[in-house]
Amino acid sequence: MSPRREFATAALMCAVGAGSAVVAGGRSWATVRATDTITPLSQHVTGRELTAVALALGWAGLAGLAALFATRGRVRAAVGCLLALFGAGIGYASATAVRDTNVLRVAAEKSPMLRLDGDAVVQPAAWWIVSLAGGLLLAAAGVIILLRGARWPGMSARYETAGTGGAREGTPPGPPRAGATTRPQDGDASTLWKSLDRGEDPTLTPADRDDGGAREKEEH
């Protein structure tokens, strides 16, 4: 696989992993049902309510994705290390957030009536698994970037420095193209004035002057 293809694959993994954690954070991760209260209760709790860490690290992963495109070399490898840590944190937070004790505590804070029922049942949903999978995917992408990212080209690698005509840095400029207009440099003012005193146009090339002289001779 070429370096650019590796780069694109790792970036896609980061986007999917971090994006999954962000999307799943706003969904219902568990439902608490109580039947021994005055009226049966059913309380949904979201990932954001169970743990704010997974959602925050998901946003951090998306920010790290932007930094991935703006860096190169060892700095990019350091970004990969951070992304791996973000992904591991998302996975750990997602797995621990759906413990019954944590879910019951959060649900009781939302519905005080649940505190009267000691037999409330916790029914986890599938969105915490989506967040967990996204964290693992982000962590895997971070490891790949840490190990391989320093070898990948930067965003500006395909562009050449403006005004160099595509030449690499340090390469001496080639001879002027045929027919190109030669203008005096800023430090050659004396030559400019001498040309004006002789009645010559300093912007003309030697070839233009030769053609002009030949036409004058033909007219005479």
In a domain, 166, yes or no: no
Proportion of the chain above pLDDT 70, given as a percent: 65
Q: Domain count of the chain?
A: 2
| Distance, CA of 212 to CA of 125 (rounded, Å) | 88
Tokens (6 digits) for 154:
């930067």
**Nearest Cα to Cα of residue 20 among 50, 58, 53:** 58
Tell me the pairing of strands 41-46 and 121-124. Answer: unpaired
* Kind plus residue range of the DSSP H or E element containing 122: strand 121-124
- Amino acid symbol at 136: L
Tens digit of pLDDT for each residue in 160-218?
A: 344 444 444 445 555 555 554 445 454 455 665 666 666 666 566 666 556 555 555 55
Q: Are residues 43 and 141 in the same domain?
A: yes
Q: How many CA atoms lie within 13 A of 36 on its CB side?
A: 8
Residues 25 and 100 grouped into a single domain: yes
Report the C-alpha gap between 146 and 36 in whole angstroms: 53
Which of 157, 181, 209 is a domain's end point?
157
Mean pLDDT of 85-114: 88
Interatomic CA distance for residues 57 and 62, integer angstroms: 9
Q: At what angle do helices 73-97 and 52-70 cross, to 10 degrees?
A: 160
> Among positive and negative, which fits the CA dihedral 208, 213, 216, 217?
negative
Q: What does pTM read for this prediction?
A: 0.66
Shared-domain flag, residues 137 and 198: no
Say whether both 120 and 23 belong to one domain: yes
d(CA 1, CA 207): 53
Domain that holds residue 210: 189-219
* 23 found inside a domain: yes
* Residue range 121-138, pLDDT digits in tens: 888 899 999 999 999 999
pLDDT of residue 30: 92
Q: What is the CA radius of gyration of the chain?
A: 34
Mean pLDDT of the region 49-62:
94
Q: Does the residue 36 lie in any domain?
A: yes
Are 215 and 150 contained in the same domain?
A: no
User: What tokens appear for 123 in the block?
Assistant: 């029914």
What is the per-residue pLDDT for 187? 47
pLDDT at position 211: 59
Asked whether residue 66 is domain-assigned, the answer is: yes
